[in-house]
Amino acid sequence: MESNLLKGKKLLPVILIIVFFISSLQGCSFFQKRYEKTETREFKISSAGKTKIILENKNGNIIVRKNSSDSMILLTAEIKVNVTKKELNEPLKNFEISIDTSSNEIRISNKTTYREEEFLNFGNWHNNGINYTLYLPNGLDADISSTNGKLEASDISNNITGSTVNGKISFVNTSGLLKLETTNGKISAELDSTRGMTLDVVNGSINLKLSPSFSGIFHVDWVNGSFKYDDFKIKLKC
C-alpha cells in the first residue's frame, strides 16, 4: 500500500505539469463551457466542361438533390461546431472549404483546426463537422464519401459512387448507375429503374424496394448473413 502511495505522489507532479502545459497552449478557453454554433455557407459552381464532382467529408452528412433550374452546381455547407461563449458572436475562421475546378473534375474537401482535433478535453469529445446539400444538373457524375455521416440522394438521374464508414446510405428514385459501399452501416434503396448498381456492405445490411417492372441480373455474395427478398420474382442460380 505504501509503495502505491509513493508512486502516486511521484506521478502527481508529472500530471500537474502536463495539465499546465496543455492549458498554456490553449489558454483559459480550455476550461470553458461549450455551445453549439451553426454557420451556413453557399456556393455556385459552373459545370461547363466538367464531367465529375468529387466531394469528401470527414464528419457530417451529404444530401444530393437535382438542380432542374439551370446547369449550375449549388452547394450548401452547414457547419456545426462547439465554441466558447465569446466565440458565439464571432465568425467561424477555423473551417476551410476547398473547391478545386482546375481540371474537368471538381474536387471539394474541407479541413479544420477546431477542437475535434484536440487530444484532451477532460472527457468531453465535441463532434464538429459539416452537413452538405449538393444540387446537381443532369449529366454530371458524382463521387461522394463521408467517414462519419450518412449519404442521401433522391429524384436524380446522375451516376453516383458513394461510400461511408460508420454511416448509412439511402437512395430513392435514382435512375443512374450506382456504386455504393459502407462499413458499419446499411444501404437502403427504392428504385423504379437504374443503369446498373453495385452494393457492398461490411457489418451491415441491404434493403431494396423495387418496382414490379424492374428487371435485371443480380450477383449476390454474403458472409455471416443472409439474403432475403419479397414482392418480386427472382431466379436463383446456384
User: Could you tell me if residue 1 is inside a domain?
Assistant: no
Strand ranges (E), the chain: 35-46, 52-59, 62-66, 72-83, 95-100, 105-112, 129-136, 141-148, 151-156, 160-165, 169-174, 178-183, 186-191, 197-202, 205-210
pLDDT digit string, tens, across residues 148-171: 999 999 999 999 999 999 999 999
Distance CA 111, CA 71 (A): 28
Distance CA 153, CA 157 (A): 10
User: Could you tell me if residue 104 is inside a domain?
Assistant: yes
Residue 113 has pLDDT above 80, yes or no: no
b/e code 131-158 from CB counts within 10 Å (16+ = b): bbbbbbbeebbbbbbbbbbbbbbeebbb
At residue 213's C-alpha, the angle toward residues 209 and 218, to 5°, is 60
Distance CA 106, CA 109 (A): 10
User: Could you tell me if residue 186 is inside a domain?
Assistant: yes
The model carries a pTM of 0.79
The region of weakest confidence among 8-17, 27-36, 54-63, 97-106 is: 8-17
User: Could you tell me if residue 217 is inside a domain?
Assistant: no
User: Could you tell me if residue 9 is inside a domain?
Assistant: no
Q: Give the chain's domain count.
A: 1
pLDDT digit string, tens, across residues 217-238: 776 666 666 666 666 666 655 5
| pLDDT for residue 222 | 67
Residue 187 has pLDDT above 70, yes or no: yes
Residue whose C-alpha cell is 446499411: 186
Distance CA 131, CA 63 (A): 8
User: Could you tell me if residue 19 is inside a domain?
Assistant: no
Q: How far is the first Cα of the chain from the last one, in angstroms, to the nearest whole number? A: 67
User: Could you tell me if residue 46 is inside a domain?
Assistant: yes
Q: What percent of the chain has pLDDT over 90?
A: 46
At residue 209's C-alpha, the angle toward residues 161 and 145, to 5°, is 20
Distance CA 188, CA 23 (A): 46
Residue 116 has pLDDT above 80, yes or no: no
pLDDT digit string, tens, across residues 52-88: 999 999 999 999 999 999 999 999 999 988 777 887 8
Q: Domain of 46?
A: 34-210
Mean pLDDT for the chain overall: 81
User: Could you tell me if residue 206 is inside a domain?
Assistant: yes
Residue 30 has pLDDT above 60, yes or no: no
In this predicted model, which residue has the larger pLDDT, 84 or 44?
44
